[in-house]
């Protein structure tokens, strides 16, 4: 089996389940040693750790809430200590709350920004202190940055649209160091947060050119491409994988 990430060291935030767990396992399958953060459900973190280790790599779960800047920074530092360095950072941790502008609580707004944007910034700032040429930074955004076809999603869309600008700017900041920075924008994906048989699934499928949900493994494949050697000339990009949701 080809292992294009052999000897690489990766950190995935929010990696215990769903898209994050698929990314952890795909990076491990491609040969990378990997740590990941989780905020709840340690049993899922254990399952993901065991699955990654079964692929013959080092794997470690680190408890860290994406809204806690100190915990996010500490997760980066622990990764460097445990794995001996850091080559790949995948910012997957995120949160979603749907509510109209008239009912959206300020504390919910603050948490959305803290996890979906501030935590990403904190992780990147900590990671680049340790990255060398060839480093990869990948954020998990959303197709809702480009299209929000239903009410109540304004704050979520804002948080994901902000990642597009952050990635473009950081690609300029880090290009001279040969570190790439890219954004993956999934569409509806079959996870426990948004199951393919959930109450909104039929509505979402009607908005897509391919009338089905993505699998987490399909999103992980895009991340693995950006983390690998074939994507060395891709930076500042937002790559949408949404079944035509934004077409």
Residue 170 located in a structural domain: yes
Indicate whether 224 belongs to any domain: yes
Per residue in 33-54, pLDDT tens?
999 999 999 999 999 999 999 9
Q: What is the 3-state secondary structure (H, E, C) of 159-211?
A: HHHHHHHHHHHHHHHHHCCCCEEEEEEECCECCCCCCCCCCCHHHHHCCCCCC
Give the burial string for 42-70 (b: 16+ CB within 10 Å, else e).
eebbeebbeebeebebebbbbebbbbbbe
The predicted-structure confidence for 49-65, as pLDDT tens digits, reads as follows: 999 999 999 999 999 99
Is the model's pLDDT at 223 over the cut of 80? yes
Catalytic option among 38, 156, 213, 225: 156
| Residue 200 pLDDT greater than 90, yes or no | no
* Per-residue pLDDT band at 199 (split at 50, 70, 90): confident
Q: What is the pLDDT of residue 21?
A: 98
Q: At what angle do helices 18-29 and 216-227 cross, to 10 degrees?
A: 50
Other Cβ atoms less than 10 A from the Cβ of 111: the count is: 17
Rounded to whole angstroms, what are the CA distances from 173 to 38, 159, 168, 177?
29, 21, 9, 8
Give me the domain span that covers residue 36.
9-241
Secondary structure of residue 58 in the 3-state scheme:
coil
Average pLDDT over residues 171-188: 98
Question: Per the domain annotation, does 61 fall within a domain?
Answer: yes
Helical H segments across the chain, by residue range: 18-29, 42-53, 69-83, 106-113, 119-127, 154-175, 201-205, 216-227
Is residue 104 flagged as an active site residue? no
Predicted local distance difference test score (pLDDT) of residue 198: 84
Whether residue 4 lies inside any domain: the answer is no
CATH of the domain at 217: 3.40.50.720
The answer to whether residue 199 is domain-embedded is: yes
247 found inside a domain: no
For residue 115, the SS3 value is helix
Q: Inform me whether the pLDDT recorded for 136 exceeds 80.
A: yes
pLDDT attached to residue 193? 85
- Can you give the pLDDT at residue 196? 95
Dihedral angle sign, alpha carbons of residues 229, 231, 233, 234 = negative
| Residue 184 placed within a domain | yes
Domain count, the chain: 1
Residue 74 counted as domain residue: yes
């Amino acid at each position: 089996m080809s292992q294009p990430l052999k000897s690489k060291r990766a950190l995935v935030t929010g990696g215990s389940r769903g898209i994050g767990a698929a990314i952890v396992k795909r990076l491990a399958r491609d040969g990378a040693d990997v740590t990941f953060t989780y905020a709840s459900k340690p049993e899922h973190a254990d399952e993901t750790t065991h699955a990654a280790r079964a692929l013959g790599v080092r794997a470690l779960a680190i408890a860290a809430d994406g809204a806690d800047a100190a915990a996010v920074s500490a997760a980066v530092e622990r990764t460097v200590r445990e794995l001996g360095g850091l080559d790949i950072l995948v910012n997957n941790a995120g949160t979603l709350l749907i509510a109209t502008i008239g009912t959206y609580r300020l504390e919910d707004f603050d948490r959305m920004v803290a996890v979906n944007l501030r935590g990403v910034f904190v992780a990147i700032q900590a990671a680049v202190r340790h990255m060398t040429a060839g480093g990869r930074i990948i954020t998990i955004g959303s197709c809702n940055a480009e299209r929000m076809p239903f009410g109540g999603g304004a704050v979520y869309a804002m948080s994901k649209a902000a990642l597009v600008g952050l990635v473009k700017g950081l690609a300029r900041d880090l290009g001279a160091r040969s570190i790439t920075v890219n954004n993956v924008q999934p569409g509806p994906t079959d996870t426990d947060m948004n199951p393919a048989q959930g109450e909104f699934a039929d509505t979402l499928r009607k908005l897509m050119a391919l009338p089905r949900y993505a699998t987490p493994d399909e999103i992980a494949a895009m991340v693995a491409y950006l983390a690998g050697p074939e994507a060395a000339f891709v930076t500042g990009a937002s790559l949408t994988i949404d079944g035509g949701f934004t077409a």
